[in-house]
Amino acid sequence: MRFMVCFSCTSRFRGYYAFVMAFFFSVSFVHAQYNQFTDSLLQRISQAAEDSNKVKYFQSLGGRYYQSSADSFFLYTHQGLALARKIEWDKGIANCSNNIGLLLSDTGNHMLAIQYLEESLVINRKINARLNIINNLTNIGRIYFRQSNFVKSSNYFFDALKIAEEINNHEKIAMVGTNLTATFLSQKNWGKVEEYALFTIKHSELAKAPIHSFKSFIALGTISAERSDTLNAKKYFEKALVICRENDFKLLSAEALNNLALVEKSISSALILALEARKIYDELTPRSLSSVMNLEALGVLYLNRFQSTNQRDRQLEYLKKAEYYLKEKIQLCTELKYSEALASGLLQLVSVMELKGNYKLAYQYNKQYHAITDSLFSQENKNKIAAIEGQREVALRDKEIELSKLALSAQRKQNIGLTLGLVLVAIIGALLYRQNQIRKKTNAELLQLNSQLDEANKVKAKFFAILSHDLRSPLARLINFLHLQKEAPDLMTVEQTTTHQQKIVTSAEALLENMEMVLLWGKGQMVDFKPVMKEVRVSNLFKQLNETFRGHEKIQFTFSDSENLEITTDENYVFTILQNLTANALKALHETVNPTITWKAQRESSGKIILTITDNGPGLSEKQKEKLLTAQEITGSKNGFGFHIIRDLANTIQCKISVESIEGRSTTFALHF
């Protein structure tokens, strides 16, 4: 009979304490319901660049495993944290640190958890991330609650609630509400428990957050159990379990199973539920507070089985199992400093020792129990928590008084400031007038310098202008001369004939050389048409161009390579591009007076090399330039490969082409290496 009384009392204690541990679980993640979500994240991570998006993918993937695989969660979330630190993304560092600290606290590693959470809190305050500040404050408060430091945990909770109410975020208000409910539950303040439970239900429904609905059902079930309404308690706990299974809240489902075991009339059924929860805790969080309380539930259930049987061998077996689970709980509570859980475990172990006849040890356990409970549930603690609750209203009133004082002080300072302001306005006016005069003088000088610079640029453009024809021009000149010599041999003197023959021979030799080069290149490319990259001197390219278009006496060619530059490219590809751009420029200068073509090589400040060809032809209209850069059709003629082929060749050797044109004045093509 003595055991039954003891068990009945502690069962009620166990009921509200099970609610406490159920309330203290993370709400940072919502898991996907399908494996496709995980596969999609893994694919995105493999393809993503090392930026903030990839950090988010790691966070989401870690969240997928929060309640199902702690190892996988830590693996992916730590990878996200490492990347966030590498790219110096404060928000990512704060979020990953918070999530890691959260699961560390749920697995019993409180000291390390506080380090991560404090790091996150500092960063979130720095960037004014108010939602995340609420998370940090709540999570740190949970750790102090687990260590039975209720006054300190309440401070964190009420600070978090203040911010949540300021931004009117129902989800965060409900989250903090669950923790405050647990705080008052630990102090056995049933009125406040019900008040904050209803408060939580209201905001969780507005937020449409299933995890807070779970906690609300646990709260209602716990309150019903305290009122001996086991029927309603069971109904609420079963609803909580349904939510867990629908949303894959695996770890939370263990909480629901534990609470169901407490109100189950059948001891066998209760043991099945508690042992099912035990499997989940052993897999995910064997050292968490929830896991510790599950050990007590198993111990109590085996004590109850001991009392329900008359078979001596069965009694010994059940008593041995009860002692095993309760001692496991006491050992973990001692290591992890779970004072309140330690007290309830000691009280149950008193019953075990009495049943074994070890009254000395039972007395020692009972003495330890009372020492802990006297400390935890003292009126002093209750008064401190009540004072903290009212502190928000007091702080608001103090703030109003402080604002009034500041307003009066500001009025006095304003009067002094107005006087000083009049003096400063006069001084500033004089300074502005002087500054305006200096600005006018400076602008005049800049206009003169710009005019000189513009004239210098025009001279420079003329100096670097060049003209050319393609490979067809020397051959056409040779054919024309042969026809002329055949049909009218007497039109030219011997000297003129000799001069023209020499020019034609020179052009023909250049043509032959270029043709041989193209043929040799074509022969070398027959197997695999691809560029062969090597260092090429720009001066050699310019020299070859000069030889190719030497026969055009009316065109002024200019080649500029003042730095004797080298480019890494395929010589044949780039010469083909240069030759065709020159031929196109030559065609554009057909009706231009004093035609010029300029080839120029220069190095940018970034180290890249640019080759530009500029002609002083009629230029391009905006419509022609747009068509030239976007159209896929051939834009050249029989004198060239067409600009689209030039562009393709340039892309092959990793060269970009740009064009600038002033209609009626000039056109410039630039090759960027």
One DSSP character per residue, 625-651 reads: HHHHHH--S--S-TTSS-HHHHHHHHH
Token digits of residue 185: 């539950």
Say how many C-beta atoms besides its own lie within 10 A of residue 560's C-beta: 18
SS3 content of the chain, % helix, strand, coil (to 5): 75, 5, 20
Cβ(113)–Cβ(101) below 8 Å = yes
Helix (H, G, I), strand (E, B) or coil at 655: coil
Predicted local distance difference test score (pLDDT) of residue 31 = 38
C-alpha 60/C-alpha 31 separation (Å) is: 9
Q: What is the DSSP string of 250-296?
A: HHHHHHHHHHHHHH-S-HHHHHHHHHHHHHHHHHH-TTSHHHHHHHH
Q: What is the pLDDT of residues 243-265, one digit of tens each?
A: 898 888 888 888 899 899 888 88
| In the predicted structure, residue 527 carries a pLDDT above the cut 90 | no
pLDDT, average across residues 347-358: 85
Amino acid at 635: T
Predicted local distance difference test score (pLDDT) of residue 409 = 76
Predicted local distance difference test score (pLDDT) of residue 162 = 92
Cβ(107)–Cβ(70) below 8 Å = yes
C-alpha 472/C-alpha 480 separation (Å) is: 12
- Across the beta sheet with 596-603, the strand order is 556-560, 596-603, 609-615, 666-672, 656-662
Q: What is the pLDDT of residues 96-140, one digit of tens each?
A: 999 999 888 887 788 899 999 999 999 999 999 999 999 999 999
Q: What is the pLDDT of residues 470-510, one digit of tens each?
A: 455 566 666 776 776 677 666 667 776 776 666 666 666 65
CATH class of residue range 1-27+217-376: mainly alpha
- The alpha carbon of 101 is separated from its chain's Cα centroid by a whole number of angstroms, namely 19
Q: What is the pLDDT of residues 596-622, one digit of tens each?
A: 999 999 998 888 999 999 999 888 888
Q: 292 phi and psi, to 5 degrees?
A: -60, -45
Of 83-92, 306-315, 484-493, which range is least confident? Answer: 484-493
Cβ(244)–Cβ(250) below 8 Å = yes
Q: Name beta bridge partners: 560.
A: 600
Predicted local distance difference test score (pLDDT) of residue 615 = 92
Q: Is the dihedral of CA 265, 268, 272, 274 positive or negative?
A: positive
Cβ(597)–Cβ(555) below 8 Å = yes
Predicted local distance difference test score (pLDDT) of residue 511 = 62
CB within 8 Å of 328: residues ≥ 6 apart: 295
Higher pLDDT, 234 or 9: 234
C-alpha 140/C-alpha 451 separation (Å) is: 68
The most confident of the ranges 221-225, 413-417, 541-545 is: 541-545
pLDDT, average across residues 298-310: 86
Instruction: Report the half-sphere exposure of 216 (CA within 13 A, side-chain side).
Output: 21
Three-state SS annotation for 501-563: HHHHHHHHHHHHHHHHHHHHHHHHCCCCCCCCCEEEEHHHHHHHHHHHCCCCCCCEEEEECCC
Token digits of residue 332: 């973990």
Predicted local distance difference test score (pLDDT) of residue 458 = 45
CATH class of residue range 39-167: mainly alpha
Of 151-165, 199-213, 231-245, 406-420, which range is least confident? Answer: 406-420
Number of alpha helices (DSSP H) and beta strands (DSSP E) in the chain: 25, 7
Helix (H, G, I), strand (E, B) or coil at 597: strand
C-alpha 222/C-alpha 16 separation (Å) is: 6
Predicted local distance difference test score (pLDDT) of residue 12 = 33
Q: Is the dihedral of CA 473, 477, 482, 488 positive or negative?
A: positive
Predicted local distance difference test score (pLDDT) of residue 128 = 93
What residue spans define the domains of the chain? 1-27+217-376, 39-167, 413-462, 472-672
Instruction: Report the half-sphere exposure of 70 (CA within 13 A, side-chain side).
Output: 20
Predicted local distance difference test score (pLDDT) of residue 4 = 26
Predicted local distance difference test score (pLDDT) of residue 191 = 81
| In the predicted structure, residue 290 carries a pLDDT above the cut 60 | yes
Predicted local distance difference test score (pLDDT) of residue 115 = 92
Predicted local distance difference test score (pLDDT) of residue 386 = 58
Predicted local distance difference test score (pLDDT) of residue 635 = 44
Q: Is the dihedral of CA 504, 508, 510, 511 positive or negative?
A: positive
Alpha helices in 337-378 (DSSP H): 339-356, 359-376
Domains 1-27+217-376 and 39-167 alike in fold:
yes
pLDDT, average across residues 439-453: 81
Homologous superfamily (CATH) of 472-672 is Histidine kinase-like ATPase, C-terminal domain (3.30.565.10)
Predicted local distance difference test score (pLDDT) of residue 461 = 39
Nearest to 597 by CA among 667, 507, 511: 667
Nearest to 150 by CA among 383, 347, 367: 383
Residue 391: pLDDT band (50, 70, 90) is low
